[in-house]
A and B are shown apart, each in its own frame.
Chain A
Amino acid sequence: MWHTVYIVHYVEHMPLSPDIIETLRLELRRGALILAVLGALRTEKYGYTLRAELAEQGVEIDEGALYPMLRRLETQGLLTSEWREDAKRQKRFYRLSADGASALSQLTEAWRAMNRAIDGILKEGR
């Protein structure tokens, strides 16, 4: 019996692994990143400035993940892009397409609804 009591006590007080928190945090922000990128591209930007602007707003994203995401969103018709010279270098500028603007508006609505719902749940839990 003491063995069981000890295990229950240990499981209840086991320190939460930072890896678990990190994995949960990554899962939480995965979908939100797309919304952030679409929102930021209401005005035209190229990869580097987009990342810098997102970081300034507190949304960090690796270049290794950002560029493939931009390409995927473009393939889905949500973004348009154009190669142009800027500061003596060829840069690819992205902006929201008409479909992208519509998707952004719908996703924003969904995001706000979810935020309200989760806020309500979290308040109830206090």
Chain B
Amino acid sequence: MNPVTRYVKEVEKNLSGMRRIQTSAKIYKVLSIKVDGLEAKLGREPTDAEMEALLAEFGAPADVAASYSAMGAPMHDLVERYLAAVRRRLPEKQAKDIAAELRDGIAGKIEAKEEALGHAASADDVAAILKEFGHPVVVASRYSGRDYLIGPNLYPWFWDAQRVGVGLVFALVMVITAVKALKSERAMAMVITGIGGAIEAAIWMFGVITVVFIVMERTRTDVRIARGWNPKALPQDHIRKPRPLFDTLFALAFDTIFILWWIKVVDFPNDIPGRGNSMELHFAEAWASMHTPILALALLMAAVHVSDIVHPAWSRLRSAVSILGHVGGIAVLWVLGRSGPLVSVTAATEESTRAAELAGSINAVFGYSLAIVGLFWAIGIGVEVWRQVKAMRPTSPHAGVAA
């Protein structure tokens, strides 16, 4: 029997436990490297005496067994703890197989390290090897096949949806808050509570949209979205830039408050400021006949603003509805303008003369204001008609490219 094999058998007698064979194989390997080194140095095969000297220098079999057992325990523990950390994050069906393969890969690295060192790897060496292998979370994630919750194909739509969803829910809660505050005696407290509620609702919406997108990612919806687009549906920026979301939300909030006030869900005080409760402002009879047309126009505008959130770009239909709304608005103003006074002021008998004067002034200001509004709407109609004409012309494929 060769001296190295005999020596290893001696060491093995002093080893115990399940790892006896692995440890003796390791010692055999380390000794073989040492013998190869000696042979290379001598330029011939070492004699038995030279082999015995090398083995004596390596240490008494009992001491070597004790030292390798002591080193092996923490090393074994580290590898198993590492594998357990990876395994926890692996799919149950594959966990055992993957862990066995990783164990083999790690053992291979440890062996290579020991060959390079000429002795057994310490716990520090093993820790360094495991660190090089990668964090358990990262290693396990590589087996899942997906490194992200929302991939790069869905990500742009994710932020678009968040912008619209979170913005809309925040605006909605703020409108409800404003309406409640107007009816409440503790308006300030209502507004503060409302802001808190709006933030909470926005966070909820963010979470819900995120979950929806994670599901979409899992069901590969991104592929369908990416394929199902039409270049012809892209915004015609040369006609009008898409409306900023903030502007649309602001307009929608105004529409909502106006409609609620118009249908008398919300009530504003009629008192004229600085005059206590002695004078009140009222709409004249002329408005009563216009109640339904004004409500219809306000609802139409609110619907347009809701559609602007989803599709902020210019379209022929959006433009046509806008023209229709402005024409309707001007028609209402025309009827009101021809119907006489727009507002009346009621007051106690002793102040009736003053009230009549005030009503005259307010009617004059109101009349001019509505005329200016009508003028703006007329300009708006002109602009939209011009855009419609512009949209009919074919655009050059080189439009926007500098000569």
Q: How far is A68 from B91 in the complex, measured between Cα atoms in Å?
A: 13
Contacts of B138 in A (CB 8 A): 64
Q: Is B156 an interface residue (CB 8 A)?
A: no
Looking at B21, B101, B139, B145, the one whose CB has the most chain A CB atoms below 10 A away is: B101
Contact A88 B98 (CB under 8 A): no
Contacts of A71 in B (CB 8 A): 94, 98, 101, 143
B residues sitting closer than 8 Å to A (CB atoms) are: 21-22, 25, 94, 98, 100-102, 104-109, 112, 132-134, 138-139, 142-143, 145
Q: How far is A89 from B139 in the complex, measured between Cα atoms in Å?
A: 23
Contact B22 A88 (CB under 8 A): yes
Instruction: Choose one: B21, B25, B104, B134; the contact of A91 (CB below 8 Å).
Output: B104
Contact A87 B25 (CB under 8 A): yes
Given contacts A47-B101, A90-B104, 20 further A-B contacts (CB under 8 A): A47-B104, A47-B105, A47-B108, A48-B105, A49-B108, A52-B112, A63-B105, A63-B109, A63-B132, A63-B133, A64-B133, A67-B98, A67-B105, A71-B101, A83-B100, A87-B25, A91-B104, A92-B100, A92-B101, A92-B104
Contact B134 A62 (CB under 8 A): yes
Q: Mark A43-64, 1 if CB is under 8 A from B, else 0.
A: 0001111001000000000111
Contact B133 A89 (CB under 8 A): no
Contacts of B106 in A (CB 8 A): 63
Contact A65 B104 (CB under 8 A): no
Contact B143 A89 (CB under 8 A): no
Tell me whether chain A's interface is mostly helix, strand or loop, or mixed.
helix
Chain A interface residue number, banded: 20 to 34
Tell me whether chain B's interface is mostly helix, strand or loop, or mixed.
helix
Contact A67 B22 (CB under 8 A): no
Contacts of A87 in B (CB 8 A): 25
Instruction: Choose one: A64, A68, A89; the contact of B104 (CB below 8 Å).
Output: A89
Contacts of A83 in B (CB 8 A): 100
Q: Is A72 an interface residue (CB 8 A)?
A: yes
Contact A48 B142 (CB under 8 A): no
B400 to chain A, nearest CB (A): 23
Contact A90 B105 (CB under 8 A): no
Please name the residue on chain B nearest to A68 by beta carbon. B142
Q: Name 17 A/B residue pairs within 8 A (Cβ), A-sorted.
A: A47-B101, A47-B104, A48-B104, A48-B112, A49-B108, A62-B132, A62-B133, A62-B134, A64-B134, A64-B142, A67-B98, A68-B143, A71-B94, A71-B143, A72-B145, A91-B104, A92-B100
Contacts of B145 in A (CB 8 A): 72
B352 to chain A, nearest CB (A): 69
